[in-house]
Structure 1
């Protein structure tokens, strides 16, 4: 049986349909439900929310610690509370909600220049985590332009296309191609029929009376016609060997072996057979029944022309740690051979549509988890493949250009449509649309998605790490001086110069680090980038910022000058240390250079302008003070370089120290004690 879905285009024939479902139970409603599904919680936004939840208690704790320490040192309540508020203000990363958004929009803009339109910017997060991508083979990895390559006759002899002795099998196959019109004047749209008809040429002696187009569920196409207009009616059939050959009464014993040999060579195999209708047999009734008693005519082997860029695409994805999976209706051996030609390994794992149909959802996920090729897959099974891969824990992309790919494209984590040759349904269901013909841009899109995670991680490190350093400096300054060194206005000024423009510049800038790209291959970026590495980066930035600020503040206190001078030096060191770290991390980015140096220049101008400086509780600095600030920044950067070595040394020697520590065993009598 066939199903007709809303939006289906009828290209040939007539049919009568029965409505079997309406409303929420239709496939159209299912597509709408998939479109409205809740995004995965493993994205950048989810990690930002998690970091915000963790940072909020620390923010309150930092402010409370400063207030409590100030009160213990005898500071007035108003001053103590003001110091706690200033530290709490420092701990709030104002730019954090914007980081992911601006990074996504910047990445989408860069991809648009490469011919990839991003319809949903949040998809780029999933693109960075994608580890499996499914390709509809025909029309995507191949040209969808089949050509007849070999013909095997009833005796098993394989001949080249065009050989006169192969003409009978080719002619019979061409007659089995249903025409759009009953008089045979139309041309079918199926790629296999086009290839067969092109190889056979004109056949004016044949008059087709009834035709049955090819369907995947049926496995063959058939027609009934007459030669010369007055001859006996003849049924001609062409289709999959496993469907047509069992219906033949006289097939040679080695036919299946010949078909397998041709399939192993990467050729699409079609079996051709015919039968003369008996007197009184109705053509329509014959086509409705399963064919039987056929006379085997031959095998046709067609080659599907691969696109020039397909091997490079497959190789690039595999090098990036993304597992490509090809979905095709070909015979398993044919599909395996074509996949190897396109760049898959010789030991590529092949799963068939029949195996998937016989398995439950759990078994399908297990079979597909490490599959490379899915052969004999029906159009409706593509959705099952995508959903089963997601059930197996894969982050799945689906690339297709046909209307029958739309459901799978929508169900995938990253749906990719092809504008140049794709259907409107596939484009409308896609998250990314490739506007050109070259799918190699998908490799660049994967790199862009991964760079997005690193850009966001670096921006988060600037925001949270710098603020954590400011909180640490506030607590340390309160311990040493009895009050928070920087006021609320000064803390807001610090965040303005360090959080807003430089952090946003880092978020929109691609890293472009080859070593980083190699390390990302196959990595679960949600934890690999925004996990322990980010915590380490935040820790290093916090310690560096606190060291630079404390050093400048102490230099100001122990050199001649007012208290306002020392706090101004600390303010400049806090900003300068963070800007210097940002410049060191992204020294090749012109945008980061401009924003960092511009922020530094604006700070110097504000501090050196008497009226503005006084407004923020600062004072203009002289050469000695600026030299002290520069020295503090240099000391902090030197300390940052030494931090990894110090941490490694601690990690290396701490287990040895722990082994030497005395361990009390519950219930044991201490040595030397008497009972």
Structure 2
């Protein structure tokens, strides 16, 4: 405790907490009783200020006798309300753009704060985060059990006047309804929720050691735009996973399909084990690695939404695998069957091998776009294929034979046609599906679509303007902007 001898104790904090302990207030040069009617007047002022997005702190004091021991707030005597401090926390324009980008990428944003509900709601509206979402307070959370919280948490945009324990409960609630949660914060009271979240993000510039120690990621510049860059990298990872898996699984299924089709049409498998090993070396190593490591070509919100796990895996991945497998098998089988009718079995195997590799490399180029890494890996595999086939001795080792222009043209034509089919067939199927959906809509059939989202909380550290006015000055209370700008406080209220 603190041993006080004839001291004055000054208290600042949330208005509702401080006002509840006040029995008098400053009016002009005198102190007068502070009753329920006066409390309502003051609360009206606080609400008006909070609706402007100002963070309001009440300031009160009390004289304590010599020898008094103050262990906690429960030991405080009755307080005298002296005035308020209003902190303006202007939103950076770049933060508004970052919020819009995250929402466009399918990320659900929720603000968790200890501020007044009206302040939090005003700031969230300025950021574009409300979108009709609910504003829940710590008192609301206390009145809900876990099942009830799970039913309303997805519709909440703001959680105000919450405690550290309630922050943990909010993160747990999002996780219970199947969301992957990223939690940002910079204070010690955020540390538990940051540690519990699937991705804990600490704002490191002005953050506490506790928050940084609990986090998985530390944003050293305290900018939400940096979190957008992190989301881009994460979504790019999912896109890379999908591309690499489609290449590996789809290509191998296509090779299996070619083997089965060739065996059904002939007396033996069209490729020997060495040739199959060569195919895998040329199509699965450098090309698949290049797809996995390439930079995202499109960083727009729409592209990020498409690259997320819900959109890029599941049915989308299955479709890519089947398309790649079908194109690979059809291109190789067609080239091998044509060469088998016009040449020797060894020549047919060589043409089929080249078409099998060429079809997969062509689809890799389509999937990788203009990435220099993908183009370089494809060119390298193509050069190795040509060298193996056309070099005597090496060609015979793999059961091939050097080919002339007709053989190369046959394989290239089949590979080109199959690669083109892998582009046209999904496009035509998508157009046909769109036409069916449009027809159903015109007939009055509504189709509801829900997008899985990721829950995250946002902290926006910015410069704050500070006003002070006396509770007895109604002009200043009504218009804090007219008050003197006397200083800044980087961390009001803890």
TM-score normalized with structure 2 length = 0.78
Relative to 1, partners in 2 of residues 1:500 and 1:258: Cα closer, same or farther, differing over 3 Å? same
Matched, 1:454 2:239: yes
User: 2:246, 2:277 → 1: CA distance?
Assistant: 18
Which residue does 2:18 correspond to in 1?
244
Relative to 1, partners in 2 of residues 1:582 and 1:235: Cα closer, same or farther, differing over 3 Å? closer
1:518 equivalent among 277, 281, 302:
302
Instruction: Write the deviation string for residues 323-351 of structure 1: whole angstroms up to 9, x where unpaired.
Output: 22222211111222232234433744211
Instruction: Say which SS state the counterpart of residue 494 (structure 1) adopts.
Output: helix
User: 1:254, 1:652 → 2: CA distance?
Assistant: 59
Aligned residue runs from structure 1 range 588-667, under 5 A: 588-644=370-426, 647=429
Q: CA deviation at 1:598?
A: 0.7
Relative to 1, partners in 2 of residues 1:583 and 1:270: Cα closer, same or farther, differing over 3 Å? closer
Relative to 1, partners in 2 of residues 1:419 and 1:454: Cα closer, same or farther, differing over 3 Å? same
Which residue does 1:269 correspond to in 2?
56
User: 2:219, 2:146 → 1: CA distance?
Assistant: 32
Instruction: Say which SS state the counterpart of residue 380 (structure 1) adopts.
Output: helix
1:385 equivalent among 170, 176, 179:
170
User: 1:540, 1:367 → 2: CA distance?
Assistant: 41
2:325 equivalent among 542, 557, 569:
542
Which residue does 1:302 correspond to in 2?
87
User: 2:245, 2:410 → 1: CA distance?
Assistant: 29
Which residue does 1:501 correspond to in 2?
286
- The alignment of Structure 1 onto Structure 2 pairs a total of residues equal to 423
Which residue does 2:311 correspond to in 1?
528
Q: Tell me whether 235-244 or 541-550 shows the greater mean CA deviation.
A: 235-244
Which residue does 1:355 correspond to in 2?
140
Which residue does 1:671 correspond to in 2?
none
Which residue does 1:336 correspond to in 2?
121
Which residue does 1:420 correspond to in 2?
205
Q: CA deviation at 1:287?
A: 6.7
Q: CA deviation at 1:578?
A: 0.7
2:351 equivalent among 556, 569, 572:
569
Which residue does 1:256 correspond to in 2?
43
Q: CA deviation at 1:292?
A: 5.6
Which residue does 2:261 correspond to in 1?
476
Relative to 1, partners in 2 of residues 1:346 and 1:259: Cα closer, same or farther, differing over 3 Å? farther
User: 2:382, 2:215 → 1: CA distance?
Assistant: 44
The question of whether the paired residues in 1 share the 8 Å contact of 2:130 and 2:157 is answered with no
1:485 equivalent among 248, 270, 274:
270
The question of whether the paired residues in 2 share the 8 Å contact of 1:351 and 1:367 is answered with no
The question of whether the paired residues in 2 share the 8 Å contact of 1:248 and 1:292 is answered with no
Instruction: Say which SS state the counterpart of residue 323 (structure 1) adopts.
Output: strand
Relative to 1, partners in 2 of residues 1:245 and 1:493: Cα closer, same or farther, differing over 3 Å? same
Matched, 1:465 2:250: yes
Instruction: Say which SS state the counterpart of residue 20 (structure 2) adopts.
Output: helix
Relative to 1, partners in 2 of residues 1:454 and 1:295: Cα closer, same or farther, differing over 3 Å? closer
Aligned residue runs from structure 1 range 367-386, under 5 A: 367-386=152-171
Relative to 1, partners in 2 of residues 1:569 and 1:281: Cα closer, same or farther, differing over 3 Å? same
Which residue does 2:104 correspond to in 1?
319
Relative to 1, partners in 2 of residues 1:488 and 1:643: Cα closer, same or farther, differing over 3 Å? same
Unaligned runs of 5+ in 1: 1-12, 15-181, 183-208, 211-223, 226-233, 655-675
Relative to 1, partners in 2 of residues 1:430 and 1:610: Cα closer, same or farther, differing over 3 Å? same
Relative to 1, partners in 2 of residues 1:283 and 1:342: Cα closer, same or farther, differing over 3 Å? farther
Relative to 1, partners in 2 of residues 1:247 and 1:652: Cα closer, same or farther, differing over 3 Å? closer
Aligned residue runs from structure 1 range 69-88, under 5 A: none
User: 2:70, 2:359 → 1: CA distance?
Assistant: 86
Relative to 1, partners in 2 of residues 1:579 and 1:297: Cα closer, same or farther, differing over 3 Å? same
Instruction: Say which SS state the counterpart of residue 484 (structure 1) adopts.
Output: coil
Relative to 1, partners in 2 of residues 1:649 and 1:425: Cα closer, same or farther, differing over 3 Å? closer
Instruction: Say which SS state the counterpart of residue 156 (structure 2) adopts.
Output: coil
Matched, 1:579 2:361: yes
TM-score normalized with structure 1 length = 0.58
Instruction: Write the deviation string for residues 640-664 of structure 1: whole angstroms up to 9, x where unpaired.
Output: 344236757998999xxxxxxxxxx
Which residue does 2:483 correspond to in 1?
none
Q: CA deviation at 1:244?
A: 2.6
Matched, 1:410 2:195: yes
Relative to 1, partners in 2 of residues 1:557 and 1:653: Cα closer, same or farther, differing over 3 Å? farther
Larger radius of gyration: 1
Which residue does 2:339 correspond to in 1?
556
The question of whether the paired residues in 2 share the 8 Å contact of 1:511 and 1:586 is answered with no
Unaligned runs of 5+ in 2: 24-32, 437-494
Instruction: Write the deviation string for residues 540-575 of structure 1: whole angstroms up to 9, x where unpaired.
Output: 11121112111221222122x321111011101100
Aligned residue runs from structure 1 range 174-189, under 5 A: none
Relative to 1, partners in 2 of residues 1:310 and 1:594: Cα closer, same or farther, differing over 3 Å? same
Q: CA deviation at 1:591?
A: 0.6
User: 2:384, 2:277 → 1: CA distance?
Assistant: 15
Relative to 1, partners in 2 of residues 1:331 and 1:567: Cα closer, same or farther, differing over 3 Å? same
User: 1:646, 1:255 → 2: CA distance?
Assistant: 66
